Amino acid sequence: MFEQLLVAMVQGLTEFLPISSSGHIAITERIFGIEYSLFMLIWLHASSLLAVIVYYVKDLLIIARDVLLLLLKQENEQGALGVQLIGATVITGVLGLLLKPVVEDTLSFTIIGIMLIVTAALIYLAESLRTHTKGGSFTWLHTAGVGIAQGLAVFPGLSRSGTTITYLIGAGLNRTEAVRISFLLSIPTIGATLALGLLDSENLSLITTPTYILIFIVGFLTSLISIKLMNIWVEKYWKLFIPYCVVIGILVVVFL
């Protein structure tokens, strides 16, 4: 039980921080000798999905309403955002499928460590570009860019939130809006992955067991904490993820 709870905590706390949940779960597995199933990870992603939906429920209701208004030919910003999020998800899905064979052939702790360092470099680059770009709204060019950025995060160690938030900040969006769009984008992305994983699984009966109920609750609560912390930290402590990712990345390359 302890091992499953540890994985649930790591998944929840790292899913929405720019430090790669997949990379940290792999590191946790190696250090503690933990064994877990692919289905358990899929189930934990369900808890993270519920957390981000709960956190942004008001935004989602507004977007859903405004998408309907958009279909009725009433132009509006949040309706357009809803369509753009779907478009970015499609781009992510296509790129993810194209890169999947490459990821499977190159998967190693060395790659995880390198990708963590790349994440740090992206944060630094985003902050550097931010001083040379003007603030603005989320455009269709941003849609394509953030879809590609998210698709590249199929590599373990390359953070999904890290790639998307850094792209959006570097493109000129303010930090808070970058986090909001990144996390809203995670909903259809995680949802699609989750649906495919659960439909293809023969272990659905496990979700009613005490262990899976408990790890779902832990994953949900830690994901909520992660989302809240990221929304706070992105304004003042965003750059602290640079040395963190560099140090962890080096340690992984050298020792794992």
Q: What is the pLDDT of residues 53-100, one digit of tens each?
A: 999 999 999 999 999 888 887 888 888 899 999 999 999 999 999 998
What pLDDT is stored for residue 133 in this prediction?
58
CA 182, chain centre distance (Å): 8
Lookup: tokens for 65: 């309403």
Burial class (CB in 10 A: 0-12, 13-18, 19+), 161: buried
Domain chopping of the chain, boundaries: 2-255
Q: What is the pLDDT of residues 10-32, one digit of tens each?
A: 999 999 999 999 999 999 999 98
As a whole number, mean pLDDT of residues 192-199 equals: 79
What pLDDT is stored for residue 194 in this prediction?
85
Taking alpha carbons only, the member of 121, 94, 99, 107 closest to residue 22 is: 107
Percentage of the chain beyond pLDDT 70 is 96
Burial class (CB in 10 A: 0-12, 13-18, 19+), 31: exposed
Q: Residues 15, 226: contact at Cβ < 8 Å? A: yes
As a whole number, mean pLDDT of residues 178-197 equals: 90
Is the pLDDT at 197 greater than 80? The verdict is: no
What pLDDT is stored for residue 135 in this prediction?
61
What pLDDT is stored for residue 36 in this prediction?
82
Give the pLDDT band of residue 117 (cuts 50, 70, 90): very high
Which residues 6+ apart lie within 8 Å of 186 measured at CB? 16, 49, 52, 160, 161
What pLDDT is stored for residue 51 in this prediction?
97
Lookup: tokens for 108: 């190693």
Is the pLDDT at 131 greater than 70? The verdict is: no
What pLDDT is stored for residue 132 in this prediction?
57
Is the pLDDT at 206 greater than 70? The verdict is: yes
Query: Model's pTM, two decimal places?
Result: 0.93
Residue labelled with tokens 């208004």: 69
Phi and psi based region of residue 64 (left: phi greater than 0; alpha: psi -120 to 50; beta: remaining):
alpha
Lookup: tokens for 191: 């949802």
Taking alpha carbons only, the member of 225, 84, 100, 188 closest to residue 145 is: 84
